[in-house]
Amino acid sequence: MTSPLTLGVIGVDHRHIYGQLANMQALGCTCKGWWTEGDPQPAAGFVERFPDVPRVDDRRRLLDDPDIDMILLADIPVRRAERAIEAMRAGKDVMTDKPGCTTLDQLQAIRDCAGETGRIWSIDFSERFEVPAVSHAAKLVADGLIGQVVQTVGLGPHRLNRHMRPGWFFDEAAYGGILTDIASHQIDQFLFFTGSTDAEIVASSVGNFANPGDPGLQDYGEILLRSNEGQGYIRVDWYTPDGLPTWGDGRLTILGTEGYIELRKYVDVAGREGTDHVFLVNGERHEYTQASDAPLPYFANLMNDVRDRTESAMAQAHCFKVMELALRAQAQAIRLGALQ
């Protein structure tokens, strides 16, 4: 195993930065400082969780520091491409929150910069990389327990938590649309589990059905995908009711020719306690596994990739393709409800 990295944080506008940094620190990485524009709501939680990481008054102090290997980004989505390009041109690799960008032009600029600089641009797709149940399911699939994967169904419900949301959350141009944002998780999982390197957006739609007073908010979205290796359906929304004890009942079903796997990632409603519930059914057995002890290899692999210039955490082409498909699905989506 290679030595830990030295990190810098730019942008704490989304709470996902907590998991990005905590998982790297758990591997022994150190963070020399953090910078963010203004005082976004997650900043207080960041200071509480990482009290030993100093705030700096100019992000150039982090970008120009020769000791820093990688920048972690969780800025407002529309600014993430600019921040990532700035970091790569400063000689830093990048781990960014999803979505990594909000337009196809931004994505092309990132592709060009990564190609020119040789830097890594990696998106922490937390609904795969920070969920032990997904690691467990990946092993079951790799072991051939459900045969050839034919389809994935990814459901990404979220709680609105209106009182906690900043203004940019209700501005489509700022967050990129619900398919660009949330559904990038499910596109990543579709490509990963079907072994696809590309896919067709057969159909997509976005809607605003519950929040007509917020015309910039998309509270519903769906995508139908098809590739040479499999099919996929995705539904994402902001409708999680307050009665659920967590932010969303995220689920993934992986259908194979010889069985299927269902993941109830964050809650088993009126069932077993805890997270990371995995159900397997095939020709020999039906079983349940509580998979919260499964490993999360993305972070260690990315650390090694930075040192060794490899692609063990995630192929760069895969990262680009996820965002390309999310952005194309968003661009061609039929607009429903209050968005019409």
CATH of the domain at 10: 3.40.50.720
DSSP labels for 275-311?
S-EEEEEESS-EEEEE-TTS--HHHHHHHHHHHHT--
| 42 prior amide bond cis, ω within 30 | no
Choosing from 123, 150, 183, the residue where a domain stops is 123
Distance, in Å, from the CA atom of 20 to the CA atom of 223, rounded to the nearest integer, reads: 27
Considering the domain architecture, whether residues 276 and 333 belong to the same structural domain is answered as: yes
Q: Establish if 219 belongs to a structural domain.
A: yes
DSSP at 162: G
Closest by Cα among 127, 154, 119 to 16:
127
Closest by Cα among 94, 134, 340, 147 to 255:
147
Q: Establish if 61 belongs to a structural domain.
A: yes
Six-digit token pair at 319?
A: 């990262």
Considering the domain architecture, whether residues 144 and 36 belong to the same structural domain is answered as: no
Confidence class for position 172, pLDDT limits 50, 70, 90 = very high
Rounded to the nearest 10 degrees, how much is the dihedral formed by the CA atoms of 190, 193, 196, 202?
Answer: -30
Considering the domain architecture, whether residues 82 and 102 belong to the same structural domain is answered as: yes
Q: Establish if 194 belongs to a structural domain.
A: yes
CATH code for the domain of 246:
3.30.360.10
Closest by Cα among 277, 263, 294, 328 to 99:
328
Q: Establish if 107 belongs to a structural domain.
A: yes
Six-digit token pair at 124?
A: 């922490």
Whole-number pLDDT of residue 3: 85
Choosing from 123, 158, 184, the residue where a domain stops is 123
Residue 110, domain extent: 6-123
Confidence class for position 286, pLDDT limits 50, 70, 90 = very high
Six-digit token pair at 162?
A: 């209106």
Distance, in Å, from the CA atom of 254 to the CA atom of 53, rounded to the nearest integer, reads: 40
Residue 1, pLDDT > 60, answer: no
Which tens digit of pLDDT belongs to each residue from 227-265? 999 999 999 999 999 999 999 999 999 999 999 999 999
Residue 109, pLDDT > 70, answer: yes
Number of H helices, E strands in the chain: 12, 14
- DSSP strand pairing (6-12 vs 70-74): parallel
Considering the domain architecture, whether residues 134 and 235 belong to the same structural domain is answered as: yes
Considering the domain architecture, whether residues 94 and 172 belong to the same structural domain is answered as: no
Considering the domain architecture, whether residues 80 and 184 belong to the same structural domain is answered as: no
- DSSP strand pairing (30-35 vs 6-12): parallel
**How many domains would you assign to the chain?**
2
Considering the domain architecture, whether residues 143 and 218 belong to the same structural domain is answered as: yes
Considering the domain architecture, whether residues 168 and 85 belong to the same structural domain is answered as: no
Q: Establish if 303 belongs to a structural domain.
A: no
Q: Establish if 322 belongs to a structural domain.
A: no
Choosing from 123, 156, 189, the residue where a domain stops is 123
Spatial contact of 145 and 285, defined as CB atoms under 8 Å apart: no
Spatial contact of 59 and 37, defined as CB atoms under 8 Å apart: no
- The per-residue pLDDT of the chain, averaged, comes to 97
Considering the domain architecture, whether residues 161 and 255 belong to the same structural domain is answered as: yes
- For residue 219, give the amino acid letter: D
Considering the domain architecture, whether residues 143 and 261 belong to the same structural domain is answered as: yes
Confidence class for position 191, pLDDT limits 50, 70, 90 = very high
Distance, in Å, from the CA atom of 153 to the CA atom of 235, rounded to the nearest integer, reads: 8
Q: What is the largest CA-CA distance in the chain?
A: 60
Q: Does pTM surpass 0.95?
A: yes
Considering the domain architecture, whether residues 139 and 283 belong to the same structural domain is answered as: yes
CA 20 → CA 195, 333, 339, distances in Å?
25, 30, 33
Which tens digit of pLDDT belongs to each residue from 23-64? 999 999 999 999 999 999 999 999 999 999 999 999 999 999
